Amino acid sequence: MTALVELAGLSKHFPTKLAWPKQPGFHPWHAISRRTAMVQAVTDISLEIFAGETLGLVGESGSGKSTLGRTLLRLEEPTAGSITFAGTPITSLGQRALRPLRKQMQMIFQDPYASLDPRMTIGAAIAEPLEIHQLGTPRERAEKVRDLLAKVGLREDASRRYPHEMSGGQRQRVGIARALAVGPKLVVCDEPISALDVSIQAQIVNLLEDLQAAEALTYLFISHDLAIVEHICDRVAVMYLGRIVEVALAAELYRSPKHPYTQALLGAVARIGPIGAPRRARVVLQGDVPSPIDPPSGCAFHPRCPLKDKPKACFEEIPRLRVLGNGTRAACHVAA
């Protein structure tokens, strides 16, 4: 398979201010001093996304999933590492040079209401990317808007409505139509169904699958809903505290997860099956997710890892992704 996107050592760190406690001899209005620290949102990610596939990206809230998606598209500037899209290194491209590639990389945002300008009609919102990239005449753009509305299952008269006049599912369909307007190759779906009712989620997932088949799209599907990820994704990457800890084919990962964190995530998913069918063991993690400002030494997961008799390397060495068979890669010193 051909890699559409290649990430090598990609990192994104955000500066933040930390307060020091009151020191002896300080005047009351000098009671708090501040120093700069770095939030290590994404650290040393090396990953490929193959053309035509759906790669799922899962993990707990705050693990860095959305930041990775935004950095991949250069909506956030990377701190380190490289991004290659369709064979073109884009890490250091200026905005002028990057603009033609923007047509090939689009995003569906998590909140379908916040991502739409409430003062713009739906038709104007969908046509805006066409105007920015100077695609077609006004008449051709209007025709394109009608075609996109039909593709995502909305009536033609929706183009004259405003976002507040539509339901959450309809607004998300508009977001999908806007992402497809310029004919992208890659679409980053940043939790596109998490803000929707359960009854609408299946409709949006089916729509995404149908559009992928019709338009030859490649998806990075970011989600915390592991049941949906199992259904829609070809491969799955698992993130913990800004790092990828396991990558595998979806069927293999759900059948035989290798990393203890992946096992804990899947063990928490409610599964319905026939009476007497074997159930996945539930792994209850202890403690909270460490701070990305000051992550633990060695394996970031070791303070919560349920494995007993962990080797010294778990506390001292950051594990690298290594191949364990059947295409699975895991960043764990003891995974077999």
Chain-centre distance for alpha carbon 175: 16
Q: What is the pLDDT of residues 47-102, one digit of tens each?
A: 999 999 999 999 998 899 999 999 999 999 999 999 999 999 999 999 999 998 99
d(CA 66, CA 207): 22
Q: Judge whether 321 lies within some domain.
A: yes
CB 279 within 8 A of CB 240: no
Q: Judge whether 155 lies within some domain.
A: no
Output the pTM of the full model.
0.89
Query: Residue 288 is part of which domain span?
Result: 255-270+279-336
- Looking at the 3D structure of the chain, how many domains does it have? 1
Q: Judge whether 39 lies within some domain.
A: no
In 3D, which of 265, 241, 178, 261 has the Cα closest to residue 43? 241
d(CA 187, CA 44): 22
CA distances to 45, 67, 74 from 79, in Å = 12, 12, 11
DSSP secondary structure, 220-261, as one string = EEE-S-HHHHHHH-SEEEEEETTEEEEEEEHHHHHHS--SHH
Q: What is the pLDDT of residues 16-33, one digit of tens each?
A: 876 655 555 555 555 555
Q: Judge whether 311 lies within some domain.
A: yes
Q: Judge whether 293 lies within some domain.
A: yes
In 3D, which of 118, 220, 131, 122 has the Cα closest to residue 174? 122
Q: Judge whether 285 lies within some domain.
A: yes
d(CA 308, CA 310): 6
